[in-house]
Amino acid sequence: MSNMLRWQGKNTGFELIHPGLQLTYFAVVLVLTMTAMQPVLLTISFISALLFSFCVRGWQTTLKTLVILLPLVIICAVINPLFAMMGSSEVVRFGQHAIYLESIIFGLCMGMMLASVILWFSCASKILSTDKVLAVLGGVLPVVGLMISMAMRLVPQFTERGKLIGSVAESVTSARPLTKRDHITSRLRIVSVLMGWSLEESLQSADAMKARGWGATNKRTGYKRYRFAAFDLFASLALALLVITCSVLAFVACSQFHFYPTMSTLTLWWGYIPYALLMLLPLVVRIVEDLRFKWLGQA
Amino acid sequence: MKRILAKLEIPILAFVPLTLFICASLQITQAAVLSLLVALAAIAVFFANFELSKPVLRQIIPAVVLGALAAAGRILFAAIPDFKPVSAICIVAGVVFGRRTGFIVGAIAALVSNFFFGHGPWTPWQMYSWGMVGYFGGVLADRGLFDKHPAAVYVYGFFSALLYGVLLTTWHVVGFIQPLTWQSAILAYGASLPFDIIHAVATVTFLLIIYAPWSRKLLRIKDKYALSGSKQDARL
């Protein structure tokens, strides 16, 4: 029950749409972020990812991620000018090596791109829980979906069982590791036992699954049912329209912009607005949902 | 459809490094996305192929367990950079269960462990590269190389880890360094070489420890649960 409540606390309006659409949205946003190497578009994507992360993952977790991401951006900004000696406005010169402003900016943009991609990914993994991914994959790739979910479940199980095998060895006088050498061999034995145990047990559970009718029907059912409602159709059409507009606009923006040899000047342009709308979409949905909820509470 | 996909297996796997090469030689600006899409396509074709071969539930279990074990091993050794057992486990899987299982173990290990390390544009590349480590392990075992020369598996282990490093560095160089010059490429390879060597040494170390006992154990399980001589093996 408490799990249920916690899950509801994290529910954003974005989760009202079909999981397939959610998956598509994140895929589109990631591809656009990776392709649109243009400072303004990258900044829009970065800020949107950051705001969405504050909203979905909480500000504490997001700040922790930022502590890791900021050095990454700085490293990119430092490394690129060392690798790519190109540009026109010289900043420093070490003998033959010149550091140019343009390549520092390119490095910064590259770092920001990586940072936004990581942020988007972490938001996506929060929203797209394993059961949703399985529900989407289950229809198309039932075997692969099952494999991934089984492997995901096995990793924490290995940790528990490793401890269990270790404590069993500890309690048996003849198997108890005494010297440092013993400790190493005992670790290796634990892993080996773990492999045999888990593999045989998983094979048995595969047989059990089959005996209980796994794969008896062609179409698999999921734990939760997701129906593609009329609203989802409307949402996918709207999303498709927005994505096409944004792709064209991003293409125009990127082809008009260049880093080398001199960076193009950036101006205010109406074309950034649809792009920002796409990137901020889940956040906007969330805010609208919150406001509606408040309004309903007052009424 | 099934046949076309089965025939596509080798071309699409070979097409991934080829794309990197083409992107590098033509200095394509959108190399990062283009190569990412090709890597994704390669993985998709491979998995679709596996899906269409309609494997029996039992037969996917070794790949799942070994993939999860490799992922857990990567997490366990996370403290030591690049010292990870993933490649060694992929090779054992490829040798014992064939090249397809080898690929899938590598792909699953990368995918699952990145849920703990963080996903990013590198995920498909790690999936592909570790998949190839297992795949070639299976191919070489099929040719009987490891039966004839038992030491060859360790040599392969060393070079497979280097192959993994080269693939990932090439992706980084082609996708993220602009403009790409010979000097910058060599600098990047040089910077990654020490880490690749650590990975190679780790792979050989883990192979020395696990290869013989695990192969024996896995072969026994394969016999016990009648996993060989199956439909899927016959088609290979």
Determine the residue of chain A that is closest to B184 in CA distance: A83
Mutate to test the interface with B, among A147, A186, A191 (most CBs of B within 10 A): A147
Mutate to test the interface with B, among A150, A181, A207 (most CBs of B within 10 A): A150
The pLDDT score that the predictor gives to residue B155 is: 94
Q: What is the pLDDT of residues A171-181, one digit of tens each?
A: 888 878 788 88
Contact B94/B137 with Cβ under 8 angstroms? yes
What residues of chain A lie within 8 A of the CB of B32, using their CB? 34
3-state SS record for B87-156: HHHHHHHHHHHCHHHHHHHHHHHHHHHHHHHCCCCHHHHHHHHHHHHHHHHHHHHHCCHHHHCCCHHHHH
Contact B170/B23 with Cβ under 8 angstroms? no
Cβ <8 Å between A143 and B108: no
The mean per-residue pLDDT over the stretch A250-279 comes to 85
Cβ <8 Å between B177 and A121: no
Whether A2 has a pLDDT exceeding 50, the answer reads: no
Task: Tell me whether the omega of the peptide bond preceding residue A81 falls within 30 degrees of 0, making it cis.
Answer: no
Nearest to A83 among B51, B112, B188 (CB): B188
Mutate to test the interface with A, among B112, B169, B217 (most CBs of A within 10 A): B112
Which residues 18-77 of A have a C-beta within 8 angstroms of B? Answer: 31, 34-35, 37
**Min Cα separation B175/chain A (Å):** 10
**Min Cα separation A206/chain B (Å):** 6
Q: Residue A224 gets which letter from DSSP?
A: S
Task: Tell me whether the omega of the peptide bond preceding residue B194 falls within 30 degrees of 0, making it cis.
Answer: no
Nearest to B178 among A106, A152, A207 (CB): A106
Per-residue pLDDT of chain B (236 residues; tens, 9 = 90+): 777 777 778 888 888 888 888 877 777 767 777 888 888 888 988 888 888 888 888 888 999 999 999 998 888 887 777 888 999 999 999 999 999 999 999 999 999 888 777 777 788 899 999 999 999 999 999 998 888 888 899 999 999 999 999 999 888 888 777 667 777 788 888 888 999 999 999 999 999 999 999 999 999 998 888 886 544 444 33
Residue A93 pLDDT class (50, 70, 90 cuts): confident
**Min Cα separation A299/chain B (Å):** 43
Q: What is the pLDDT of residues A192-246, one digit of tens each?
A: 899 999 999 999 999 998 888 887 777 777 677 788 888 889 989 999 999 999 9
Identity (one letter) of the amino acid at B233?
Answer: D
What residues of chain A lie within 8 A of the CB of B190, using their CB? none
The domains of chain A are located at 2-128+228-270, 135-211
Residue A4 pLDDT class (50, 70, 90 cuts): very low
Q: Where are the beta strands (DSSP E) in chain A?
A: 90-94, 97-100
Q: What is the pLDDT of residues B29-53, one digit of tens each?
A: 677 778 888 888 889 888 888 888 8
Residue B7: give the domain boundaries: 2-235
Q: What is the pLDDT of residues A69-84, one digit of tens each?
A: 888 888 888 877 777 6
Q: How far is CA B78 from CA B45, B71, B73, B210, in A?
A: 30, 10, 8, 19
Number of domains in chain B: 1
Mutate to test the interface with B, among A45, A103, A199 (most CBs of B within 10 A): A199
Which residues 147-166 of A have a C-beta within 8 angstroms of B? Answer: 147-148, 150-152, 154-155, 158-159
Flag whether the pTM goes above 0.80: no
Q: If phi over 0 gives left and psi between -120 and 50 gives alpha, with beta otherwise, what is residue B118?
A: left
**Min Cα separation B171/chain A (Å):** 14
Contact B129/B167 with Cβ under 8 angstroms? yes
Contact A106/A78 with Cβ under 8 angstroms? no
Residue (of A147, A161, A157) closest to A192 by Cα position: A161
Residue A85 pLDDT class (50, 70, 90 cuts): low
